[in-house]
Structure formats: structure tokens, C-alpha cells
Amino acid sequence: MKRLKLYYLISLLFVTILALTACKDSDHMDRLKEASYVPQSNTQSKESDQNNSAVSLKPKPLQEDDFTISYRSEQFTKSTNIKDLIAMWGYGEGFESSNNGFISGNGEFRRWNLSYPGYGKPEIRFVVLSKIELEGEDLVDGESYLVAASIESPKITTRRGLKIGDTLEETLQIYGQPDSVTNGRLTYSKNGLHLCIHWDTSTRKIDNIFIEYNMEKSIKEQPYVNLLEEDGQIALNMEQYSIQEKQSFDTSLAGWKNVRFVSTLKNEENHSFIQAQFFLTENGKEDYENKVLYQFPEFYGNTGRMIDKVKAVAFKDLNQDGRTDIVIIADYITGVNKNGVETRPVAGVYFQKKDNKYTTLPELDKEINQTEHNRTLNNVIQYVSKQRINVN
């Protein structure tokens, strides 16, 4: 009997120990599960934070020193003396055969460049503006100053280390969001200085870095102007505009007969927002772009926006008055990311008046875009055709 009780007690003790052990093992497994889950979550969170910070990291603000270039152990800034530069390295190999570095001129000033080590395959180019002076019977470069510098080799870096071949994403990490952007160029500005970073839109890699030191001053002294010829035509200086060939068309408009509708974007070198401008030119002439008959009013999409491209054009009588109206859709830039520029459409309509010239209705253009009837030409045409529009 005593042996039976003893056996019972031993069995009970064994079961109790086993139960306690099982509970401890269960607790231990739960702790293991918790331990294996929590660090994994924390790790993912940290990695996510690191990735986000890599993209959203805000670089320090630009300083004027960021526009300094170093080349051959020399530093170049807004106040670089051109005579000192030439005294150091001469004019560069191939200077004379490259028309003395000529870019453009207006009779009073000459815009030209110094390329080193030479003009065949330069590593760096310096754009110079010189006042043209008479020395005996020869025209020579007088007072000169540095307009801009173009980095064209990965051997040269910016002050922050950016170089040709770096990616768009690396550019944004180094400099942050730009002050202005086109589909192919980011611009960072400080006190009249501009760092223009050009990238290949297919590879998204940097292919040129252009630093402007005295560009605004040079444009004032050698301005881009439209000259009115004796026959009333405008001689358009194409240094100011870039023709959008795919959105330029031969057409017949009331009162104009055979003309060419020309879409352009203002040249990026002006350094204001890149905006769209439209013209009617003489058709059938090789130099049609220099024979402007009519310049259209300001395009609605220009207002406060940087235009990326003219996307679509349509010619149609929208208000049934027998005259040809013109619908235009452009893409404007809303921002930039590692993949390139982000764009949205903006539409504007030109209505032809009785005198055959054109006008806009800003409130109507505003409604078209606010109601998002600006996605396609058909969107715009259908919306406008339902309105009661009368122009004189």
C-alpha cells in the first residue's frame, strides 16, 4: 500500500514537472517568435527609413562657392580675368580654324569661347563676351568677361563632386530639388549664378554641366531682338526661340492664305521660365522661320508654368463664325524625380477675329483646365463647342 502511494506521488510529481516544462517551453517559443518578429520589423523599418532619407535628404543650401570650377589646379569664378586665363594657357588648340571661337555677334559685342585643351575634344569651354574695338584697321577683342563655363569631361567635377556620367538620382541627392527644370536640364540658382545640369533623357545620366556667371549681363549687352523689316515682316532671331517642328504646320487661314503655323519654345539660355510662343510665317520659303507675319498673343499655359513641350495643335471653327480657331495643348513641368521630369497638360484656345488676327479668352481657358477638359484635342473641342462664344 505504501509502495502504491509512493508510486502515485512519484507519477504525480513527474506529470507536474512535465507540465511546467511544457509551459516553460511554450513561453520560450512564444518569446522566440516575438524575438524573431520584432527585430525583423525593426530592420525593415530602419531600411525603409534609410531608403526614404536617401531620397528625401535635403542638401545644404547653395552658396556662391558652389559655382566655382577647378581645372588644372586653377579656380574660376564670376570675376575670372580673361586676359589672365589666356596668359596661362593660350587660346587652345584649333582656335583659328574654329573661327576664333566665334559664337555670335551684333556689331558691338562678340560672343566666343575658349576651349581646352583644344576645340576638337574639349574638357572645358569658357564662354566669353568681348566689346569689339578698332585697332588701326583691325577689329579686336576689347574689354572681356566670363559669361559661362561648360564642363564636358568626367575628369572635372563641381564643387560638390558631381560629374559627367552621374545619374539624375545622384544629382538630386547632391543638390536637392532644382529652381527650374526642363525635360533635359535642371537649373540651380543663387544671386544671379546658375548651375545648369543637362542629362540624357534616355539614360538619365548627366552629359553636360553648364555654369552661368554673367549670362544676364551678356544678354543685355548683346540682346536677342526681333527686327521689323520694311515690308512689315518680323525678322525673327532664332537664338531666342527653338522651333517645335512636329507641331508646326502649313495651313490656310482666313485672311492669311497659305502660311505656316510655327510652334516654338523660348530658348533656355534666357533663364526665365521656358514658355511657348506661336507665329504665322511665310510658307514655301527655305528661311520661313525668319519671315514672321504674325505673332500670337501670350499662350494661357505660360502663366506661372515651365513648358516642357508643345504636345498637340488643331485648327477648327469652334464657335461657328466661319473663321478658323486654334486649339493648343502643351505639357508643363510639375517637378522632377530620379526617372526624369513630371508633367501635366495645359490647354489654350486662340479665336480668330473679324480682322483675321487672334485673341484669347483667359476665363474660358481657365475653365477648360480647371475642369480637366484639357487631356486631348477632342476634350477641348467638345467642351468649347458647347459654349456661346462671340469675338469681334
Q: Model confidence over 139-167: pLDDT tens digits?
A: 788 999 999 999 999 999 999 999 999 99
- Categorise residue 128: left if φ over 0, alpha if ψ from -120 to 50, beta otherwise: beta
Verdict on whether the full-model pTM lies above 0.75: no
Query: Taking a C-beta distance cutoff of 8 angstroms, is the pair 259, 282 a contact?
Result: yes
Count Cα neighbours of 100 within 13 Å in the Cβ-side half-sphere: 10
Specify the pLDDT at position 15: 43
DSSP classification of residue 60: P
Which residue in the block uniquely carries the three cell numbers 463647342?
385
* pLDDT attached to residue 372: 94
For residue 81 the three cell numbers come to 580675368
pLDDT tens per residue across span 46-102:
433 443 433 445 789 999 999 999 999 999 999 999 999 999 999 999 998 888 888
The confidence score (pLDDT) of residue 109 equals: 87
d(CA 368, CA 352): 18
- The domain limits of the chain are 64-219, 224-385
Give the whole-angstrom CA distance, residue 194 versus residue 212. 5
Q: Which helix (H) or strand (E) holds 219?
A: helix 215-221
What pLDDT, on the 0 to 100 scale, is given for residue 226?
44
Low-confidence ranges of the chain (pLDDT < 50): 1-56, 224-233, 270-271
**The dihedral sign for the CA sequence 189, 50, 333, 210:** positive
Rounded to whole angstroms, how far apart are CA atoms 312 and 377? 7
Do 261 and 288 meet the contact criterion of CB atoms below 8 Å apart? no
Q: In this predicted structure, what is the pLDDT of residue 330?
A: 96
- φ, ψ (nearest 5 deg) of residue 281: -125, 165
Q: What pLDDT does residue 235 have?
A: 52
